[in-house]
Amino acid sequence: MSLLIILASIVLLVLLITRFKFNTFLAFLLVSILAGLLLGMPITKITGSVQKGVGDLLGSLVIVIVAGAMLGKLVAESGAAQQITSGLMKLFGTRYIQWALMVTGFIIGIPLFYNVGFVLVIPLIFSAAYRFNLPVVYIGVPMLASLSVTHGFLPPHPSPTALVGQFEADMGRTLVYGIIVAIPTVILAGPIFARTLKKIQANPLQTFMPAELPEERLPGLGNSIFSSLLPVILLALTTLAAPFIPESGTFSNVVRFFSEPDIVMLISLLFATFTLGIRSGMSMERITSIYGEAVKDVSLILLIVAGAGALKQIMIDSGVSTEIAALLQNLDMDPLVLGWLIAATIRVCMGSATVSGLTAAGIVAPAIAGQSVDPNLMVLSIGAGSLMFSHVNDSGFWMFKEYFNLSIMDTIKSWSLMETIVAIAGLAFVLILDMFV
């Protein structure tokens, strides 16, 4: 009976968000409270569970997500992203323009919040298409595939960062594994898949072509790349160095302090504030304004994460997670595949990658606590599933359609299939990596 209540609660959550256009955070809260009541929890304990779930999940994530959004916004506003694109296009040349855009999307996609990144790269894609007289969808899909993969797989993006918290994974190790999985996934969903899209005709709207910053106002290429990737560099270095660091002692404690994701993001943000902001001639007032806008960009995401934490805690405190664990242990299915399948199903029904990933994690995380599954790979498998087949219920689908001025059928042939390849290839490479780690 408990499992039917949880299933009904998830269906209700999907309906509230998709059919009735309810605010996602409020939908999570209402469904969490209703699930608690139906599962027989004492009414006096339900609000406590909701508050604990919200606090526990947000407490470990809010600094990383907010600082990451601030860094991404500064990368965009300072012209660093534009500089990276120009530099890589000069390096790769016309013949390999797809690869230049793909690498650019991957680099600037790591710090940039997805919607900001999407809007930012569109004019870069359009200008390259016009300059070299190439089909815009053909050269644009590899760049957008990179953005999608970084959004779904790599911290400090909100969804994978939240999944790290849900599964108590290691953020640095998840990032390293994520990059290993992301590179072949992007190549398959980007340049290789894009070969089938040359015949799709698009007439991008000039409305979406904002003016580029003049060359003299851009930060240097090396500075732009290093400042953008500093969180990745620091997390990767501390993760790779971990086996060689003594388990105790002052040096070990100092290294562990500076390897904490919160500290890494704070150091990276302060560094970029100087290198991309102050050194580029920005006033602190302007930089502060950029950071304020960044917080607005991720405020709803933070609330969605909080709501997902509330539902997860209700499942734990009601005891239903124990029942789910017992059921999953009797299933002859790899937990990585199961997590992917649940996330993919919710994604197709609901549209939101973030909501589907967090909801799937809330179901799976308590159930695999005693199983021998790598939590870092679990983050990646659910992240891959959360990107499955974007269609008419996903805002990303409509952004792609309208910006590229495509028909719905051509959008499905390009955008939706690209997202599907990302999801399936992502799972495949996670399972391959699982054999070696």
- DSSP string over 359-413: HHHHHHGGGGTTS---HHHHHHHHHHHTTS---TTSHHHHHHHHHHT--HHHHII
Angle, CA of 304, 166 and 343, to the nearest 5°? 70
What is the structure's pLDDT at 415? 96
Task: Tell me the per-residue pLDDT of 168-196, one tens digit each, with 9 for 90 and over.
Answer: 899 999 999 999 999 999 999 999 999 99
Tell me: the pLDDT tens digits for 234-258? 888 887 777 778 877 788 888 888 8
pLDDT of res. 284:
95
Q: Out of 46-55, 101-110, 248-257, which region has the weakest mean confidence (pLDDT)?
A: 248-257
Encode pLDDT of 149-164 as tens digits: 999 999 878 889 999 9
Distance from C-alpha of 317 to C-alpha of 38, rounded to nearest angstrom: 13
Q: Would you list the domain boundaries of the chain? A: 2-434
Least confident of 77-86, 94-103, 234-243, 319-328: 319-328
191 in Cβ contact with 337 (< 8 Å): no
Instruction: Indicate if the pLDDT at residue 197 is higher than 70.
Output: yes
Cα(36)–Cα(21) distance, rounded to whole angstroms? 23
Helices within 133-248 (DSSP H only): 136-153, 158-167, 171-187, 193-194, 221-241
Mean pLDDT of all residues in 79-98: 83
Q: What is the pTM of this model?
A: 0.79
State residue 328's pLDDT score.
63
How far is the C-alpha of 414 from the C-alpha of 385, rounded, in Å?
A: 18
Do 416 and 389 form a contact (C-beta atoms < 8 A)? Answer: yes
Query: Are 307 and 25 within 8 A, CB to CB?
Result: yes
* Residue 206 pLDDT greater than 90, yes or no: no
**pLDDT beyond 70 at 27:** yes
